[in-house]
Structure 1
Amino acid sequence: MAFANPRLTHHLRVAHVFIYAGSCLLLLLVVSNLLLCQGAEDYAPYCKNQPGNCRIPLQSLFERATLVASNNYRLAREMFNEFNKQFGEGKNFTSKVINSCHTEFMTTPNNKEAAANTEDEALLRLVISLLHSWDEPLHQAVTELLHRNGASPDILARAKEIEDKTKVLLEGVEMIQKRVHPGEKKNEPYPVWSEKSSLTADDEDVRQTAFYRMFHCLHRDSSKISTYINLLKCRFTPC
Structure 2
Amino acid sequence: MQAKMEQGKRKGKVAKQKETKTDQRLRKETEMAQSRTSGGKLFMAVVYMLATCRAVPINDLLNRASERSDEMYSLSTGLTKDLASHMSPLSWPAMERPALCHTSVLPTPNDKEQTLQVSESALMSLVRSLLQAWAEPLVILSNHASTLPHPARINISNKIQNLQDYSKRLGDGLDILSGKMGPEAQVVSILPYHGGTDLGHDRNSKLQKFNFLLSCFRRDSHKIDSFLKVLRCRAAKMQPELC
Measured in 1, the distance between the counterparts of 2:45 and 2:69 equals: 20
Q: 1:152: how far off?
A: 2.1
In structure 2, the partner of 1:225 is: 224
Call closer, same or farther: CA 1:224–1:81 in 2, change over 3 Å. Answer: same
In structure 2, the partner of 1:50 is: 47
- Tell me, yes or no, if structure 1 residue 114 matches structure 2 residue 114: yes
In structure 2, the partner of 1:234 is: 233
Q: 1:121: how far off?
A: 1.3
TM-score, reference length from structure 1: 0.72
Secondary structure of 1:196's match? coil
Q: 1:112: how far off?
A: 1.4
Q: 1:180: how far off?
A: 2.3
Q: In the TM superposition, what whole-angstrom CA distance separates every residue of 1:198-227 from its partner, at most 9, and x where no partner exists?
A: 42x222222222111111111111110000
TM-score, reference length from structure 2: 0.71
Measured in 2, the distance between the counterparts of 1:95 and 1:83 equals: 15
Measured in 2, the distance between the counterparts of 1:140 and 1:90 equals: 25
Contact 2:179 2:186 in 1 (8 A): no
RMSD: 2.2
Q: In the TM superposition, what whole-angstrom CA distance separates every residue of 1:71-119 from its partner, at most 9, and x where no partner exists?
A: 1110010000100002x13323333441211111110001111111111
Call closer, same or farther: CA 1:237–1:185 in 2, change over 3 Å. Answer: closer
Higher mean alpha-carbon deviation, 121-130 vs 49-58, is at 49-58
* Equivalences for residues 132-171 of structure 1 within 5 A: 132-148=132-148, 150=150, 152-171=153-172
Q: Which amino acid aligns with 1:66?
A: S
How many residues get paired?
A: 190
Contact 1:129 1:190 in 2 (8 A): yes
Q: In the TM superposition, what whole-angstrom CA distance separates every residue of 1:13-72 from its partner, at most 9, and x where no partner exists?
A: xxxxxxxxxxxxxxxxxxxxxxxxxxxxxxxxxx98124733323222111100000111
In structure 1, the partner of 2:18 is: none
Q: Which amino acid aligns with 2:180?
A: R
Call closer, same or farther: CA 1:116–1:48 in 2, change over 3 Å. Answer: farther
Percent identity between the aligned chains? 23
Contact 2:178 2:186 in 1 (8 A): no
Q: Which amino acid aligns with 2:207?
A: Q
Q: 1 or 2, which has the higher helix percentage? A: 2
Call closer, same or farther: CA 1:115–1:192 in 2, change over 3 Å. Answer: same
Call closer, same or farther: CA 1:147–1:50 in 2, change over 3 Å. Answer: farther
Q: 1:168: how far off?
A: 0.7
The gaps in structure 1 that reach 5 residues or longer are 1-46
Q: Who wins on radius of gyration, i.e. which is larger? A: 2
Contact 2:121 2:185 in 1 (8 A): no
Contact 2:125 2:185 in 1 (8 A): no
- Tell me, yes or no, if structure 1 residue 179 matches structure 2 residue 176: no
Call closer, same or farther: CA 1:148–1:206 in 2, change over 3 Å. Answer: closer
In structure 2, the partner of 1:91 is: 90
Measured in 1, the distance between the counterparts of 2:64 and 2:45 equals: 15
Q: 1:140: how far off?
A: 1.2
Measured in 2, the distance between the counterparts of 1:91 and 1:215 equals: 18
Measured in 1, the distance between the counterparts of 2:190 and 2:92 equals: 26
In structure 2, the partner of 1:214 is: 213
